[in-house]
Structure 1
């Protein structure tokens, strides 16, 4: 512990303060800053501690700059006090002592200087000899004041009332802080992903981590040097092969390119569900940083008789599969709890997407372009463009726009569209957007110049599949594919609309095998004499003559109908007048 002395193991705070003999304050030179305060309650416990009350030097907190959390922690002040720091008050000295119990052995001079703590020496302060007042009307640092030998009879806190303007400024700052929302706050109904909590490293662990980082950095540099040499050799080999076979170099590059491995996610199984369940069970009471690893969990499961899948019932296995499927679904849609984690997740995923899009361009010759931007003004996701070089030329040659200007407009629209923008989330708007998306999909695959091709839901197999050889994939699970006008749930319409907008639901051409199967089905139906489409409702005037009439005949029939209607109206009005006359 640091003492008020010249102990080489402690900060040099100068000689210990000298108290007058008449002082009733208990003081311990080997204590903390909080024990400079009086042990008894002041005369006016509800008022603030000032120099005029005790006639002592005052630690003026009102002139301080807001300290950091680390500095507040070093001084023993809880982290929730910095917001009310300038107007800090307490009913008694004991309250100050408990809240400002600052052990000086952990306080560095840099922390004290950064806190801008100043001692305003009152005019009645005692001189170093204690015989006469020392008139010093100046502000000096804590260390400087003590090092000069200034007597510090008592350190008190100045908690003068804050003005209305300062209070309003604090309220505005709090409102601004509250307005800085996160993705989690803007989506309260969505599940929230869990951020991994890591334990704090010791000094030895930090040193070992730095050493490991340096070793890995040097290793990566050596690996990259070898990779560059191998890549250079591949370029030479590609040029040699191109000259040998008289083919373009880009064709050789496509042929020898290493394709990326694309895997589908495995179906949920009971083994994965059991591991996930036991992982949560074994680590339930363990603090962050000391949780069991997957390898340790599997070793424990070998000794647990409940983890034997051979003796497990089918109902239990099905329950575990459902748990895995549910966890996967929640993980896929869970929002990140903070803006920083959201930005980091976006950075990692976009890096993987960019690599795969580049492979699609190089290996398949498919041009692509993707624009990414943040969806809210407070988000930290950086806008970016992932595109083939030819896609940039498309923007400049055809659209007469720069792709980066389009990205800026995209970001501006995304950050401001919710302010005063019309809400298009009704039953009618969702139905309209679904129908338009489906008609656009049919038109894209058929290259139709005859206008919009109507979508048929009742006779989809005959009117769409048999005629245009198209099928719908990605329709939301649990929902029947029928006319949106027949769907009355806004939630179901939102799911369908979102699926079509995101590309999950789309039209696809039938494969060769599906076309053969469809042709065989049509042939069997025709041989059986079955009707392919549903019969339409019969007309009410079925069986009558429907000769085509000329324009003159139509006009004559219309005049006859008008005359008959007017005669009927006159008859009704005359009958009503006669009834009124009889009543009179």
Structure 2
């Protein structure tokens, strides 16, 4: 509330001190002047403002560099910068990772690098215990070489926002979010989402439902615009759209509603299953194509031909035997 109330009338960059704020509200019962709805609205706005400060993109490369340095230092309690970059002067001599290694023998390392060649942030690496020995002994590379390769790999993969977020990729991310959530809540690793018969096959069978979908239960393949796909992905990633279990009462009410819908469809004469696209089209017998490009007989005819040919050969061979010799003729 400090950000929203006490600095609203001040120029940009100026703030009141804590004592000035305390003096201004000492004789004012501001809570009584605000309704509960207004208080909750202010709290929600403050939470959204803080979240934007934590996750919002930095406007300049300089501000991004300062944010990177502070965050990296916070991870290991003022992590020491990499030696080739001495311009970073703020660090402590006893990071928390080193203290952890001395207390428990637990070795760990932290490595970070920029993702864009226009950024000024330097690679960061810090290892505790025997972590730094891993790279030269196993990978045959120094920590500096590994950090440089990591930075090169990140910069090479960097793309602009429109190239990264194509419609097929956004669609695939939404499908993965929905499928993973469904499999986790049902504990069935091979289960697939069914949009056409969602109420029967998913809600009715597994007693779970997808809550908070911004466009209803709609297949991501039917969403054709990037803004709508981003909206769905944001809802899935933030947890606003999530899978939830149904109670027995909710499941029973859902099944009764399905029965009513089916009964109404029967009265109207609507089929429960959609017709095939080729319904009513006459279908002929299937004939195999010959090697010479023509259409040959069916397999049953081929089998009959083979059997008849075998019988004819047997008839031809019948009665054949050893020819009469001269001795046989003399004995007769």
TM-score with structure 1 setting the length: 0.31
TM-score with structure 2 setting the length: 0.49
Higher relative contact order (CA 8 A, sep 6+): 1
